[in-house]
Chains A and B, each alone.
Chain A
């Protein structure tokens, strides 16, 4: 359903700071895949998501979604079918606006009309949906989202994104900025939604256990390349030790020293 063909991303091309961040990446994401992605800091994971979401143009290569070439489609148009959540919980919602106003904006994608949609019927719909989160947000429709915790905001972003029926979901370490309890809660919700709504998703994580536990397929990135692509039975049998060993075999570097991956 998503196909990346010979993708290259080079920052500061033809300068002394030239940085070849994505190196000829080829990847096919199948419908229903839940892919976890690991890799050390600077491996190019977020850049890969920027490429898929259209946040940054490619240096070369092509991107297809359901066999449509979307390489040159603008980010805001891609977001109608690609949902993305960032590590920073503030990026998903407008903190200075109330919860109900936020939900009006995320209720439907695309340009907004000059009409007032918010009424009590819609409010009740919102409350029903918010109950799924089990965070008591259904009673705080008139509070500014800025008063919510990072975990609540991220759960909210997740809920609103899921309800928009995205064809592809990109999660970029979306629990990394949360405290452990909230991180677990958001992660549980993530897995639940992806399963219940049969979403196709890619999730970057720095936690190898999570990468193994969640999803049906695991990618490991290093220095701009996908160096490992495991799925099915092989993935579910994987252990953290084996994962480190595999990296070691491929890169013949000592993975254990890479603290960012083990943190």
Chain B
């Protein structure tokens, strides 16, 4: 239960932070996520199996995700195609690339030392419960990420990214190239998503070529649930509520397990959940404009 809801909620929360940056801050609906998430997993597995030190592996994962996002941004910028098409193209190409990295549809990390196994060993004096140790490390990681992102979005560059999603003409009028900002934003977003993918691989102890299918929707559902429960115009709350949304999403999924008979049922479930959230949001809007 701790693992299923809190730990997975926190890991998918990192993914949802990436989705939040593109869908909400940049107003750039980006489906690259479905490719950059398994990319992060594949690259991490490859690095660990090759014996590359952990911290370098994480940097490589982030950079690979960043490159994937940049490619989507460049396709969109240079060919003037809509964000959805540009990102579907990258997502499609990443499927083949992920396969080339893994060289098999399924690669196990069994008996390989990961950040999670290392941390669990490290804190055995405190707790021997694996779930608790996982929970601790992900609380730590997510807190640090939120602090970093909160600071980033308070820098002049971060504010410019916010303005870009709000009003692109303003960015141009202020002498900035929106194309460059989009590359930065998408790189950051997909870098985070790849990091999330690499954590899932370490958590599940395997990487699977198909693990990315539909994750963008999981991220989006988390973002939307967060928006439903917390209202604010402060970036720190906007970031935190994404995590909260991701945990609630896991909770809902966990509680509805009796309904989900096939392992693939959760996709139908997530779709219906999003439709319900959209309907509730629309109703709320209607209510507030009437009242």
Contact = CB atoms under 8 A, between A and B. Distances in A.
Interface of A: 74-77, 79-80, 83-84, 86, 90-98, 101-102, 104-106, 109-118, 144, 161
B155 A101 contact: no
A109 B160 CA distance: 11
Given A94-B166, A104-B159, 15 more contacts: A76-B175, A79-B173, A79-B175, A90-B167, A91-B169, A92-B173, A94-B170, A101-B162, A102-B163, A104-B156, A110-B176, A111-B175, A113-B156, A114-B155, A114-B157
B180 A97 contact: no
**Top 6 A-B residue pairs of the complex, sorted by shortest distance between their CB atoms:** A109-B175, A94-B166, A112-B156, A94-B163, A80-B175, A112-B160
B177 A95 contact: no
Contacts of A104: 156, 159
B288 interface: no
A97 B172 contact: no
Contact of B172 (A76, A101, A144): A76
Contact of A97 (B156, B163, B175): B163
B177 A105 contact: no
A94 B171 CA distance: 9
Given A91-B169, A94-B167, A118-B154, A111 B233 contact: no
A114 B170 CA distance: 19
A4 B217 CA distance: 51
Contacts of B170: 91-94, 105
A83 B172 CA distance: 11
A78 B146 CA distance: 37
Given A76-B177, A80-B175, A95 B166 contact: yes
Given A80-B175, A118-B154, A144-B233, A112 B169 contact: no
A110 B175 CA distance: 4
A227 B177 CA distance: 36
Contacts of B177: 74, 76, 111
A79 B171 CA distance: 10
Contacts of A161: 173
A118 B235 CA distance: 15
